Amino acid sequence: MTESHESAGTGPGDAHFAVFTDREDAAAVARSFTHSGTRGTLETRETRETRVLEHPSGRPWLVGQWDDQEIVTARAGRTALAVVGCCPVDPAELEARAGRLRDLAELDALARSLPGSFHLVAAMDGRLRVQGTASGLRLVFHAAVDGVRVAATRADVLAAALGHDPDEEQLAVRLLWPVPYPLSETSLWRAVTAVPPEDALIVDADGRTVRHARWWTPPEPVRTLADGAPAVREALVAAVDARTRQGGVVSCDLSGGLDSTSICFLADRSPAKVVASTWPGRDPADTDLHWAEQATKHLPDVEHVVWDADASPLVYDDLLGIDDLLDEPTIGVMDRSRVLHHLPGMAERGSRLHLTGIGGDHVAWCSEAYYHRLARTRPLFALRQLRGFRALWQWPLGATARALADSRPYGGFLADAAGTLRAPLPATATTSLGWGMPPRLFDWVTPDAEHMARRALREAAATAAPLHPDRGLHTDLEQIRSCTRIIRQWDRMAARAGVPMASPFLDDRVIEACLAIRPAERVTPWAYKPVLTTAMRGIVPETCLRRTTKAAAAMDAADGLRRHRADLLALWEDSRLERLGLVDGEALRHLAQRPSAPGLRDAILYSTIAAEVWLRGSSPARTR
């Protein structure tokens, strides 16, 4: 049956919880995850901060924070299910599913059929199954706490229960730019294990034995654009409907780009009243406002709010005041103020949810690395396309040829990267047609940190397999999952700011529909985002679909470096990373006084700033 919960003082968008088996030793551990003095009804007990959903025995099953709007539960016989997040599943349907369930593996089909973005938790015959999303937007971790295996949606919650500090080697790894898979998905605490997004965690009835079970694989990219675009359209419609079908007021980013414009037009078809939000760029060459105004000419019922470009926070704003981070550093801290700044204004206009077009770049387009395989399977076609890419991206012929000739396995790519951490950045053609950008360390990273990062890369290289044998699909999946790790944190920040944020492009069903289309038709030098323009034809006016540019906000980043020089200097005073021996604080302080130094425009400071801000915003125990 579906349980009903009274509000526990948290709003939608910031659900997080731990999961326990139906055992007395697990119940004893669960008590350490709650505050003393909890009281409540038969199956739900709560304090102002913590909620508890119980097994039939009365022992805790889920312990954490969630809002009534983002949880559906059902029980039938020996099976209980909980869907936590955004999912328009009917409680009666979920109960029927629970009643038909004979094995936890059957939940693979349920997880792959539901729209939205959610955690799925099941209990059956004393066993548990916990999973997040294939996108990586909703993650699962587990650890042994007092001998009991506990699952949780946040790694730091488990680390706090264990009383552990983050591992210094993992912090050194996070100084790499960029952090390659699989190191990018490793918990910062060695005792806390991250579950890969494509896997579900299974905990046996003994409360100790665990395994990871694959529940998701990417679709084979065999659909033509003509066949696949309707499925993309259907998935996007369902994703937006999952957020807007309740009506009320929702707000939408409207940059004028194809991604946000598509979401805005889809939201306008719903029962909800839509408020569109546009931040014009400071750069006189920025055309976002023009394209946003073109869209609103066709949206007469949408309220359009245009903010003052000069009032928008710059990159690097308020780095010293961030206190709402999760369980890992991400470069999202650089743009946190920009992401959140307009949300109070949306709240004043009644918005209950803010929709973004984030993720469209990652799913409606794809990596040129697919042409590494296409050059071997369809050489004449690939050669013609590669000529276009060379002209579009200004790839030198020699670098392009060398990238196409490179047949190293993924482990070889990681092993070679371990030996070139201080080398200059490679040519764009090399990174676009290869396994991705090989990681680099910069002058302010200490030799000790370099040694730890190199060791981690070599250890990973010995066993790592790519996310897919095709380096194009591997790159697509890695980029999607890198993006969602940032959005996961922004979502929490937005919820705390009072207006939850949602990014429909990052729903699993949308990702699957896009990945199913042949890469040769998804990425081409002759058309901009053909998947999205084809899917949205008839919903988004042709005049809006003709945009082929994207604002870069380079001026905001450059101005931010100059304007926030004092904050950057303060960040390196008494640096936590310097205390740990991972960076040369003096070198960073010197660099902060030279914001126009060559190289800074390429964001090479981002990973170091992210790690420093995360350590400063974490509990004192983490920086002892």
Peptide bond preceding 379: is omega within 30 degrees of 0, i.e. cis? no
Residue 556 confidence (pLDDT): 64
DSSP H or E segment with residue 195: strand 193-195
Contact of 540 with 288, CB cutoff 8 Å: no
Angle value at C-alpha 398, between 397 and 404, nearest 5 degrees: 90
Closest-CA residue to 502 (of 272, 250, 130):
250
Cβ within 8 Å of residue 44, ≥6 positions away: 3, 4, 5, 6, 51, 52, 53, 54
Nearest to 467 by CA among 273, 185, 271: 185
Beta strands 303-306 and 117-124, pairing class: unpaired
Q: Examine residue 182 and say whether the peptide bond preceding it is cis (omega within 30 degrees of 0).
A: yes
Task: Give 252's DSSP letter.
Answer: E
Q: Contact 357/255 with Cβ under 8 angstroms?
A: yes
Task: Tell me the C-alpha to C-alpha distance, in Å, between residue 178 and each of 129, 173, 226, 613.
Answer: 32, 10, 36, 17
Residue 376 to residue 385: CA distance in whole angstroms? 13
| Gyration radius of the chain over CA positions | 24
How much is the pLDDT for 466?
A: 98
The third-level CATH classification (topology) of the domain covering 225-364+479-553 is Rossmann fold (3.40.50)
User: Which regions of the chain are under pLDDT 70?
Assistant: 1-11, 35-48, 285, 550-558, 598-602, 619-624
Q: What is the pLDDT of residues 233-270, one digit of tens each?
A: 999 999 999 999 999 999 999 999 999 999 999 999 99
Give residue-wise pLDDT tens across range 284-310: 767 888 899 999 999 999 999 999 888
State pTM to two decimals: 0.94
> What pLDDT score does 209 carry?
94
Answer whether 449's CB lies under 8 Å from 351's CB: no
User: What pLDDT, on a 0 to 100 scale, did the predictor assign at position 7?
Assistant: 36
Cβ distance 214 to 199 under 8 Å? yes
Output the pLDDT for position 540.
97
Beta-carbon count within 10 A of 515 CB: 22
Instruction: Tell me the three state secondary structure of residue 74.
Output: strand
Check if the beta carbon of residue 450 is closer than 8 Å to that of residue 423: no
Q: For residue 551, what pLDDT is reported?
A: 61
185-204 burial string, b = 16+ CB within 10 Å, else e? Answer: bbbbbeebbbbbbbbbbbbe
First to last CA, the chain: 47
CA distances from 482 to 171, 475, 486, 576 (A): 17, 10, 7, 25
Query: Which DSSP category does 308 fall into?
Result: -
Q: How many other CB atoms are found less than 10 A from the CB of residue 271?
A: 10
pLDDT at 35: 55
Q: How many residues does the chain have?
A: 624
Peptide bond into 166 cis (omega under 30): no
Q: Domains of the chain: which residue ranges? A: 16-165+184-214, 225-364+479-553, 370-474, 555-623
The DSSP call for residue 167 is P
Structure tokens at 484: 């969602």
Structure tokens at 50: 């913590």
Distance, CA of 399 to CA of 424 (rounded, Å): 15
Q: Using an 8 Å Cβ cutoff, are 314 and 563 in contact?
A: yes
Question: Which ranges of 214-342 would DSSP assign to H, the alpha helix?
Answer: 225-244, 258-268, 288-296, 336-340
Instruction: Give the SS3 label for residue 416.
Output: helix
Q: Rounded to an integer, what distance in angstroms lies between the CA atom of residue 526 and that of residue 39? A: 63
Question: What value does the mean pLDDT of the chain take?
Answer: 91
Write the burial class of residue 287 (CB in 10 Å: 0-12 exposed, 13-18 middle, 19+ buried). Answer: middle
Q: What confidence score (pLDDT) does residue 443 get? A: 92
Please list the helix, strand and coil fractions of the chain in percent, rounded to the nearest 5, in that order.
45, 15, 40
Task: Give the span between the Cα atoms of 75 and 2, in whole angstroms.
Answer: 7
What tokens appear for 108 in the block? 């693979």
Instruction: Report the C-alpha gap between 204 and 399 in whole angstroms.
Output: 52
Calculated CA dihedral for residues 214, 67, 14, 505, nearest 10 degrees: 60
C-alpha span between 574 and 356 (Å, rounded): 37
Q: What gap in Å lies between CA 87 and CA 115, rounded to an integer?
A: 6
What CATH fold (topology level) applies to the domain 16-165+184-214? Glutamine Phosphoribosylpyrophosphate, subunit 1, domain 1 (3.60.20)
